[in-house]
Amino acid sequence: MTTHPTPVLTLLAAALLVLAVPAGAATPAELLAGYSASAGAPALAARGQAFFQSRHGGEWSCASCHGALPTGPGRHAATGKAIEPLAPAAHARRFSDAAKAEKWFRRNCNDVLGRECSAAEKADVLAWLNTLKP
């Protein structure tokens, strides 16, 4: 007989996975696993690419600043400030600090969506970013 975890156990497992990442330190794979667990579903890179490149009814998309293929430097659409490559393979420090990743997801999602991104949206975008090579 196969048993399925209850929603409470699923949430508890997701919380434990996130807590397993040392404060601050992370890898893109650990963050992706945590976001996927919080979302309760596996991430889809194709959905992440579509999300990244869509304007979501607003003026900007993620690609507005990071570029359609974020393996090279970007430029902030409003300030013109240079932005280092977003893809982890092109910039070793990307997604290596959980607190920074959350800070920038929060800021950028508010700019693009007018709200915070869901765990599923973060997982999908990170899954796509992890497929990119410089």
**Main-chain dihedrals φ then ψ at residue 88, nearest 5 degrees:** -55, -35
Nearest partner of 56 among 125, 134, 6, judged by Cα = 125
Q: Is residue 71 part of a domain?
A: yes
Q: Decide if 85 is inside a domain.
A: yes
Residue 73 within any structural domain of the chain:
yes
What local confidence, expressed as pLDDT, does residue 58 receive? 85
Residue 1 lies in a domain: no
Strand 82-83 versus strand 74-75 pairing type: antiparallel
Q: Is residue 62 part of a domain?
A: yes
Collapsing DSSP states into helix, strand and coil, what is residue 37? helix
- Residue 73's nearest CA partner among 62, 83, 58, 81 is 83
> What is the pTM assigned to this prediction?
0.81
CATH number at residue 78: 1.10.760.10
Q: Answer yes or no: are the C-beta atoms of 10 and 40 closer than 8 Å.
A: yes
The whole-number pLDDT of residue 61 equals: 95
Query: What range does the domain containing 50 cover?
Result: 7-131
Q: CB 40: neighbour CB atoms within 10 A?
A: 13
- Whether residue 77 lies inside any domain: the answer is yes
Cβ neighbour number for residue 29 with a 10 Å cutoff: 12
Assess if residue 81 is contained within a domain: yes
| The total number of structural domains that make up the chain | 1
Per run of 10 residues, the mean pLDDT along the chain (length 134 residues) is 47 44 75 95 97 92 95 93 96 93 95 95 97 94
Q: Token digits for 67? A: 């570029």
Question: Is residue 54 a contact partner of residue 64, using CB atoms and an 8 Å limit?
Answer: no
Residue 24: its pLDDT value, please? 66
Q: Is residue 96 in some structural domain?
A: yes
Tokens of 106: 């929060």
